[in-house]
């Protein structure tokens, strides 16, 4: 099978790879659409703590496709079925897993990180993922391209649940990349009264406005805009943005640290007096549960008018390297690859 193989930290090359070997309980999926995440860029450039140096890995964890082989008769899946994949698979036994929080399992596996992922014609879904309900049938009205976005969208639903975004809330999103824009859309869906997006790049601010933000700001303009936000979500991988979030959250404001940043970067200074005297709630979220993923799939049709703006490029698998470069240079927002053809 054709696949984009990555040696983390050194980049990606297209190769002909052996067919994935299925074991009892596994499911094989033909990848019809896979979107590129900034995590893929990070792994290709700098590696990942879960991937031993020198490992050859097929990246890609935002995957939609069709079932081509089922070695799990009890899974209720059939050949030809259209599915999306929840990428994180926990051990199934620890406290996090028992609560359905696979992404928080200390021993998780993930498609595109510890397991070969979706930058390929086919992806093997291991038995444990099948058993935990991570092969999710697509609603009929959701296209493959949209379904690829269910993964990032499910991370966003997790974040908004943590800060309980609600009707009338003033919401600030720091960072206007793909995740920032999705966070702004979900804030709107949850009834926010005001949605403000801050990003240093003028083009991104323009897109945020087109996608329905009430106000768009350069990061340095946030302070003077006002500090009474009910919800602040930090998608920019930047400690200064995290500091800023605490400064501009209003009384009983809820803050979500949505983005992580490289371990070697200096941590922000936390103004704990601000947290104390304003009774702030600071949260962080990472990944999703299978339930968030299902909810994301049902929400996608409502976001359809905006998704076309979010997906700036549609490319064959062969162009994965160029696509990632365009994302890194901020020429592209979300890029979707089509390994089975456009």
Which residues contact Zn ion by CB under 5 A? 37, 39, 90-91, 94, 97, 105
In the complex with Zn ion, which residue's Cβ is closer, 38 or 321?
A: 38
In the complex with Zn ion, which residue's Cβ is closer, 42 or 56?
A: 42
In the complex with Zn ion, which residue's Cβ is closer, 81 or 131?
A: 131
Spatial separation of the C-alpha atoms in residues 302 and 112, rounded to whole Å: 28
- The token duo for 73 is 């008769």
Spatial separation of the C-alpha atoms in residues 102 and 121, rounded to whole Å: 26
- Burial (CB count within 10 angstroms: exposed 0-12, middle 13-18, buried 19+), residue 71: middle
Q: How far is the CB of 262 from Zn ion (least distance, A)?
A: 16
Q: How far is the CB of 37 from Zn ion (least distance, A)?
A: 3
Q: How far is the CB of 119 from Zn ion (least distance, A)?
A: 13
DSSP 45-113: HH--TTS-TT--EE---EEEEEEEEES-GGG---TT-EEEE--EE--SSSHHHHTT-GGG-TT-EEBTT
In the complex with Zn ion, which residue's Cβ is closer, 225 or 338?
A: 338
In the complex with Zn ion, which residue's Cβ is closer, 253 or 287?
A: 287
Q: How far is the CB of 151 from Zn ion (least distance, A)?
A: 6
Spatial separation of the C-alpha atoms in residues 183 and 65, rounded to whole Å: 25
Q: How far is the CB of 10 from Zn ion (least distance, A)?
A: 21
Q: How far is the CB of 168 from Zn ion (least distance, A)?
A: 30
- The token duo for 236 is 């920019």
Closest C-alpha among 65, 55, 74 to residue 9 = 55
Cβ–Cβ < 8 Å for 119, 1: no
In the complex with Zn ion, which residue's Cβ is closer, 38 or 81?
A: 38
Residues in the chain: 342
Q: How far is the CB of 211 from Zn ion (least distance, A)?
A: 19
Starting at the edge strand found earlier in the chain, the sheet holding 57-58 runs 12-16, 2-6, 57-58
In the complex with Zn ion, which residue's Cβ is closer, 22 or 91?
A: 91
Q: Among the residues of the chain, which ranges form H helices?
A: 38-46, 95-98, 127-131, 144-148, 150-163, 178-189, 202-210, 222-225, 239-248, 272-277, 290-310, 320-328
Q: How far is the CB of 61 from Zn ion (least distance, A)?
A: 6
Q: How far is the CB of 152 from Zn ion (least distance, A)?
A: 5
Burial 120-153 (b: 16+ CB within 10 A, else e): bbbbbbbbbbbebbbbbebeeebbbbbbbbbbbb
In the complex with Zn ion, which residue's Cβ is closer, 28 or 86?
A: 86
In the complex with Zn ion, which residue's Cβ is closer, 39 or 244?
A: 39
């Amino acid at each position: 099978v054709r696949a984009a193989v990555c040696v983390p930290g050194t980049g990606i090359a297209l190769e002909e790879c052996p067919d994935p070997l299925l074991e009892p309980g596994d499911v094989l999926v033909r990848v019809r659409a896979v979107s590129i995440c900034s995590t893929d860029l990070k792994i290709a450039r700098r590696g990942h703590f879960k991937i031993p140096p020198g490992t050859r890995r097929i990246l890609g964890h935002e995957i939609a496709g069709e079932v081509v082989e089922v070695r799990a008769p009890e899974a209720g899946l059939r050949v030809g079925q259209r599915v999306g994949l929840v990428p994180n698979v926990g051990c199934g036994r620890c406290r996090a897993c028992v609560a359905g929080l696979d992404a928080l399992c200390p021993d998780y596996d993930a498609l595109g990180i510890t397991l070969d992922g979706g930058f390929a014609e086919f992806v093997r879904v291991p038995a444990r993922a099948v058993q935990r309900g991570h092969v999710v049938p697509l609603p009929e009205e959701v296209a493959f391209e949209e379904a690829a976005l269910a993964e990032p969208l499910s991370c966003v639903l997790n974040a908004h649940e943590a800060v309980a975004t609600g009707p009338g809330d003033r919401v600030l999103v720091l960072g206007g990349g793909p995740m920032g824009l999705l966070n702004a859309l979900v804030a709107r869906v949850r009834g926010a009264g005001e949605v403000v997006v801050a990003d240093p790049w003028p083009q991104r601010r323009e897109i945020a406005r087109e996608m329905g933000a009430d106000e768009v700001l350069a990061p340095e303009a946030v302070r003077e805009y006002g500090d009474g936000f009910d919800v602040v979500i930090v998608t920019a991988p930047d400690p200064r943005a995290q500091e800023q979030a605490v400064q501009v959250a209003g009384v009983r404001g809820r803050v979500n640290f949505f983005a992580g940043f490289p371990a070697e970067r200096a941590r922000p200074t936390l103004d704990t007096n601000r947290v104390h005297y304003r009774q702030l709630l600071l949260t962080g979220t990472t990944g999703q549960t299978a339930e968030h993923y299902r909810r994301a799939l049902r929400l996608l049709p409502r976001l359809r008018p905006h998704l076309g703006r979010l997906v700036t490029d549609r490319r064959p698998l062969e162009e994965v390297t160029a696509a990632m470069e365009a994302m890194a240079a901020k020429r592209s927002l979300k890029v979707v690859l089509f390994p089975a053809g456009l």
